[in-house]
Chain A
Amino acid sequence: MNAIVETQHLSFAYVWGKDVLRDVNLKVKPGSFHALLGRNGAGKSTLLKILAGALQPREGASWTLGADSRRLGVNEWRAIGFLSEAQPLFNGLTGAETLRFTRQFYPNWDSAFSDHLCKAMELPLDRKLGSYSKGERMKFLLLLAMAFHPRLLLLDEPFSGLDVVAKEQLIACLLETTGQEQWAVLCASHDIAEVERLADNVAVIDHGLLTLDEPLESLQGRYRRVQVFGAPAGETDAGMLHVTQSENGLSFVETGFSAVREAQLRTRYGPGVEFSSMPLREILVSVFTSTEARP
């Protein structure tokens, strides 16, 4: 199995609850930064919990580092870095004590790398973790997740609630390290601007369904905002989303943009057509607010 993380027809529902995940097929390849995006309650964290072995799928299967995610053992966890905003730390211990406690479980713990990350993220190791700010906690968790050179990083809302500086430090650290180490990263987040700087693949979960899973470059390449000045009403087709007709003309989101498609639209609408590229945030809004998001 080449994928670092793979799910096949994965479904999950909590007891007495509705389906949280439905028929999810996802692959994360070595060296890729896979962003897992979706609205609140879409099932992102649930998917991470399943991949981390904390929950068991109702149907389908999931593998993490080639092992059945229901049976992750010590060997797998020695190669998985995990960070979650909801993860509690030992507030009664200092940062240094927690580092000492944690590193004993990892034969491949890199103390020099750990020191480097500490300095880069300006972590006060002599203070108790209970006195850490949220940003410091997240940076400390990231340090604990990376200091042993994992093959896979599972990140659950790593940027949530952080200030700008903390976010920048976290991103810089991730960019530097993941770029060098060729780790696979699966990151569930609402912070699209930050994810856009890091991710090379984007997966979107909407109401438990994986509605989108493709390289960011490809996604941004095929989404365009199209403005047609003076276009007549009613001339739309399946690739267009959010079609609006105004006094200025026709506006829509093109989901299958390519050179051929551009030529077709220019032929249809003449010289009054303009194409503008879309940031990831706008693409996602289009995806989430449309029921026809699949390419």
Chain B
Amino acid sequence: MSMLAYIRGVFLKDLRVFRVHLLVLLALGIWVENPVFPHSEDFPGSIAAFVLMEYVLLVLVIQLDPVGREFRFLQTRPVPGPAIGLAKALFAGLFLLLPILLTQEWHLAAAQVPMPLSDHFILALETFSVLSAGFCAVALIAGLCRTPRAVLISLAIIIGVPILGIECWRSFMGPLPTIPHSQRVDHGQLDSLRDLLWQTVLAVSCLIAIGVRYRTKGFRWPLGIAVGGIALSLLASFCPWNFARSLQEQGKMQALLSPEALARIHMTVLPSGNGTPTYKVSPVGSYGGVAGESVLQQVRMDGVPMPYFVQTIDYHATITLRSGKKFVSNFYDAAGHSEMGGMGMQQMTTAAGVQTPYFFTTHDYALAEFDLASYPTAAFRNQDLTGASIKGVITFAVFRAYKEGVLSVKAGASVSFRRNRYKVLDYTAKEHSITVSLEHYSVPLPLRADNDGMEAPGAFSILPVYRTYGCALDQSNQDFNVTTTLLGLRRELSSTTYNGSPFGTSDPHGMQDLPSGWQSAVDLIVIGTEYCGRVQIPYEMDNVNLGSATPHGH
């Protein structure tokens, strides 16, 4: 009897036993999650409930032949252990994972989001990674436990102990000590990737542990592997930023600037003079109960022509007080950095090829403010904070803004490009404004350095343009409603009001007022950004007065 015959036998047995469960589960899933007559909005969290039910079914399937029980039926039959494990994996893959992947594809097709085959593959890989990590962890518990009751108790302990522990800590010890972390864009992207790594390592280690358990029927080895794998996966979730970033930058090489172009990028700290500092010290809020301050410095950026722009992704600085005391300041040690750069109106209008508002004077350099150092307030208490010096190296990511597509303001108008689709649902024209309801489907792929955040480099911005004059319009109001599903498709509904006046109308040289009927000639230009490389620039600041949250003025 071949291995395949064994697997087939066990698989068909499981299918026979759980045929009713499966039918009910799949029917429920199709009813709630189908994109044709969707009910998922009527049942918030329905996909999570669906996945939870899948976990329960998986526990039942594995508990039918649990490895942890010494005298389970198949253990005393001439059936190889690996065949049982593979049959269970086949069951989980075919009936638990595949329906989700197929539904995901169904949603994508219904949303008409264009995606190349490679992106479909990456999305499937990401979904598989997220789901299989949970499946494998549950399967490991279900496989090692002797009875369903033991599974329930184990899951309750695994889920309950951390929750109770956190609550107890909060009650008795105060706020949790947390790893410094900001909501910054780059972090958001990297977090997604690190989550994927975490889940992948967890899944693989659980799979190995299950495999070993089925092979040897021993207990200590698989348990050791599982514990080791969980430890590794935790380590993976703290994997170095640089490593994560280098992984993400794979596949984004097409827009890279040449080393010569990158070498032309310079940052010059503008010197303070006549008692007017060019920096200010601002509070950066507290994180994990630690309040901090950051030093925001005016700089001149050379070698970053429009529509390029830079954004801080890291810095390491040493702050030396007059007393000689030194403090090492790392970008990731603080939360809520104030100025980090990013795309502005000037880059957008340049990329869109429309008039640049007057106040963006054309230079071969740009003036900007960057956060160049930060420190916890308490660390410098009772110190002389005048006359400090700061020396460090800052790392910028360089991006370029570009025009991705144009969307006319007409009901039903749409524009689609890779992993995105914009559609005008409706618009309301008034004399001095136009309000546009926009639907935006996107498929963020962490492995392609996308994330769910709106402000992420790589995400898209909308520039309203009056076509006849080729000028950008003022925006007065915007409402968002974002639905992110576990199925990978992100749907964003927005309602934005644009004024019938060009952006920067106070221009004395004059952009003209718009003629009546201007609403019919409004285009929405989708501006994208792409990564072009990274530069590290050293900097120095002298005679800095630290220690006050009040800006010194500049």
Contacts and interface: CB of A to CB of B under 8 A. Distances in A.
> Do A and B bind?
yes
Given A55-B70, A92-B16, A101 B9 contact: yes
Interface stretch (B71-79, B239-247, B407-415, B506-514): B71-79
B38 interface: no
A97 interface: yes
Given A88-B72, A90-B64, 18 more contacts: A49-B71, A52-B70, A52-B75, A54-B71, A73-B80, A74-B78, A74-B80, A75-B78, A76-B78, A77-B79, A78-B78, A88-B73, A89-B73, A92-B16, A101-B9, A102-B77, A105-B79, A107-B1
Interface residues of B, number: 23
B10 to A, nearest CB: 9
Interface stretch (A79-87, A229-237, A241-249, A280-288): A79-87
Interface in B59-105: 64, 69-73, 75-80
Contact of B16 (A88, A97, A156): A97
Contact of A56 (B64, B76, B80, B218): B218
B78 A105 contact: yes
Interface in A93-113: 93, 97, 101-102, 104-107
Scoring B5, B72, B77, B218 by chain A CB atoms within 10 A of each residue's CB, the highest score goes to B77
A270 B422 CA distance: 114
Interface string A40-55: 0000000001001111
B63 to A, nearest CB: 9
A93 B17 contact: yes
Interface string B2-36: 00011001001100111000000000000000000
Contacts of B80: 73-74
Given A90-B64, A101-B9, A74 B76 contact: no
Contacts of B75: 52, 54
B218 to A, nearest CB: 7
Given A77-B78, A93-B17, A86 B9 contact: no
A52 B17 CA distance: 26
A76 B75 CA distance: 12
Contacts of B5: 104
B217 interface: yes
Given A54-B217, A80-B76, A93-B17, A88 B69 contact: yes
Nearest to A74: B78
Contact of A90 (B9, B17, B217): B17
Contacts of A102: 77
Contacts of A74: 78-80
A80 B71 CA distance: 13
Contacts of B6: 105
Contacts of B18: 92
Contacts of A104: 1, 5, 9
Contact of A87 (B9, B73, B217): B73
Contacts of B217: 53-54
B69 A93 contact: no
A105 B17 CA distance: 18
A93 B217 CA distance: 26
B78 A93 contact: no
Interface of B: 1, 5-6, 9, 12-13, 16-18, 64, 69-73, 75-80, 217-218
B71 A87 contact: yes
Contact of B13 (A73, A93, A107, A156): A93
Given A56-B218, A105-B1, A90 B78 contact: no
A93 B64 CA distance: 12
24 contacts: A49-B70, A52-B70, A52-B76, A54-B70, A54-B71, A55-B70, A74-B79, A76-B78, A77-B79, A80-B76, A86-B71, A87-B71, A87-B76, A88-B69, A89-B73, A90-B73, A97-B16, A102-B77, A104-B1, A104-B9, A105-B1, A105-B77, A106-B78, A107-B1
A20 to B, nearest CB: 13
A93 B1 CA distance: 23
Contacts of B64: 90
Contacts of A107: 1
A54 B1 CA distance: 23
Contacts of B9: 101, 104-105
B271 to A, nearest CB: 71
B73 A52 contact: no
Contacts of B13: 90, 93, 101
A101 B64 CA distance: 14
3 closest pairs, A vs B, by CB?
A54-B70, A82-B76, A92-B17
A107 B5 CA distance: 13
Contacts of B70: 49, 52, 54-55
Contact of B71 (A56, A78, A84): A84
A178 B240 CA distance: 68
Nearest to B60: A92
Contacts of A54: 70-71, 75, 217
A92 B65 CA distance: 13
B418 to A, nearest CB: 47
Contact of A77 (B17, B71, B77, B218): B77
A137 to B, nearest CB: 12
A90 B73 CA distance: 8
A102 B9 CA distance: 9
A52 B217 CA distance: 12
A82 B71 CA distance: 9
Nearest to B76: A82
A84 B69 CA distance: 12
A156 B76 CA distance: 13
Interface in A135-188: 156
A73 B73 CA distance: 15
A74 B82 CA distance: 12
Contacts of A76: 78
Contacts of A86: 71
Contacts of A52: 70-71, 75-76
B72 A87 contact: yes
Contacts of A75: 78
Nearest to B18: A92
A247 to B, nearest CB: 53
